[in-house]
Homo-oligomer: A and B are copies of this chain.
Amino acid sequence: MLTSIGAPSIDALFDEIEPALKTSHFDGIDEGVDEMTMIQEMAERARRDEAGPCFTGAGCYDHHIPAAVWDIAARGEFMTAYTPYQAEASQGTLQLIYEYQTMITGLTAMDVSNASVYDGGSALGEAVLMAVRANRAHPSNKTGGPRRIAVAGACHPHYVDATTNITRNQGIELVPTGTTDGRVDLDALTGMTGDRMPVAVIVQQPNFLGLIEPVDEIADWASANGVLVIAVVNPTSLALLRPPGEWGANGADIACGDGQPLGIPMASGGPSFGFLCTRSSLVRQLPGRLVGRTVDRHDQPGFTLTLQAREQHIRRGKARSNICTNQGLLVTAATIYLAIVGATGLSRVASRCHERTRKLVGTLTGVNGVRSHFAGPYFHEHVIDVGQPADRVADAVAELGIVGGLPLGRYFPDLRNCLLVCATEKRTDADIARFGDALQQVLNG
């Protein structure tokens, strides 16, 4: 090959690079090993993290994943393809995304969806940017003052953080309304009038604390006041709960969340994918890819990326977002998951999670010194008060081989004695009893 090139050595191919730049500072990197050794090393580490039953949710859930999902999603044809820019050579990915768009809009009862953003946290960030673009009528667009986004009730603190960090440099400010009994303080929200009227309001349902928010009231207030509604939802819950498209009289304007519960392993929280849906009227404000159905030269149906003029590779500085690489493979898995479980399977999963969590709460609150912290209905997460600093309790329970919920003191100092617990359909009676016993042992010796 060098002969064809007419170069004396590979080194010569780097002859346009200033010699001083060629470094030998790679000593910090070890020599390579063969696959066997690498796997052995990684397995040794992975083994250290093997844990017993998981009762932590908080945005990432230990659901059963049908074996077929990843057997198919991990096929080289899906896994090692690039973004489907050459539509004719990418009908597999393209049609799948079209099917995904149909499924996720079916779940959320929204009109349109993009092909994914990174995760639930960044999806909320994109939703906020989108709302600001979309709500052109809002006074803040004229005054040039900060664009306020109300956060109604208990939204996932990591989502709020990520959104703040993503939107901060565009003069956007997130304003929490505060909570009463773990749910939105409706008076505080509806008191945001005049100058304080937000561009949009974020509502998470079920909220971060597992509780059901009064989404109809919020949505109706918002739509009466020219405020856009951004819904943050858990897709599993949508098999049971009223979807954002049906909140209040007019539905939410934007629905987003994390697709992890749909066939994606917890895997330390990533990769999963963020979904982002909206009304037809706002489709041109959606960031990210969209797939449309069209026809080919012979009038046969086919699929292609469409409305690409919203995206960075065409619109550059004027794009709706800088997103390019998204979370395609996870969307592939989620689509296969939804096809396999169907509406019946998903609603069984949801009702089973709900039932398991009620059983869990019953068992845990049966332990001396433990009680439910908030009253009212919950889906598959709940806050329990363990009567002493919950972070230490969680560590002690972990010693006994149980991932026993999220200590909340880090986010809400007044909940420092509380754990946010969750039971999915995978948690057996024996798992729940084991957690109960562990908690008993930790709290009461």
Q: Are A66 and B35 in contact (CB under 8 A)?
A: yes
How many residues belonging to A are interface residues under a CB distance threshold of 8 Å? 14
Q: In the complex, how many angstroms separate the beta carbon of A344 from the nearest chain B beta carbon? A: 12
Chain B residues with CB under 8 A of A425: 36
Q: Are B426 and A36 in contact (CB under 8 A)?
A: yes
A40: CB under 8 A from chain B? Answer: yes
Interface stretch (choices A67-75, A118-126, A184-192, A268-276): A67-75
A64: CB under 8 A from chain B? Answer: yes
Chain B residues with CB under 8 A of A71: 74, 76
Chain B residues with CB under 8 A of A66: 35
A441: CB under 8 A from chain B? Answer: no
Q: Are A67 and B428 in contact (CB under 8 A)?
A: no
Chain B residues with CB under 8 A of A426: 36, 40
User: How many copies of this chain does the complex contain?
Assistant: 2
Q: In the complex, how many angstroms separate the beta carbon of A100 from the nearest chain B beta carbon? A: 21
Bound: A123/B38 CA distance, A: 36
Chain B residues with CB under 8 A of A428: 40
Closest-by-CB residue of B relative to A66 is B35
Q: In the complex, how many angstroms separate the beta carbon of A229 from the nearest chain B beta carbon? A: 35
Bound: A35/B340 CA distance, A: 12
Chain B residues with CB under 8 A of A67: 35, 39
Which residues of A422-445 have CB atoms within 8 Å of chain B's CB atoms? 425-426, 428
Choose among B64, B75, B76 the residue that contacts A36 (Cβ–Cβ < 8 A).
B64
Bound: A160/B37 CA distance, A: 37
Closest-by-CB residue of B relative to A64 is B36
Closest-by-CB residue of B relative to A67 is B35
Chain B residues with CB under 8 A of A64: 35-36, 39
Task: Name which of A64, A74, A428 has the most chain B CB atoms within 10 A of its CB.
Answer: A64
Closest-by-CB residue of B relative to A74 is B71
Which residues of A56-94 have CB atoms within 8 Å of chain B's CB atoms? 64, 66-67, 71, 74-76
Can you list 13 A-B contacts with CB-CB less than 8 angstroms, sorted by A residue number? A35-B64, A35-B66, A35-B67, A36-B64, A36-B425, A36-B426, A39-B64, A39-B67, A40-B426, A40-B428, A71-B74, A71-B76, A75-B75
Q: Which 6 A-B pairs have the closest CB atoms?
A: A36-B64, A35-B66, A36-B426, A35-B67, A75-B75, A36-B425
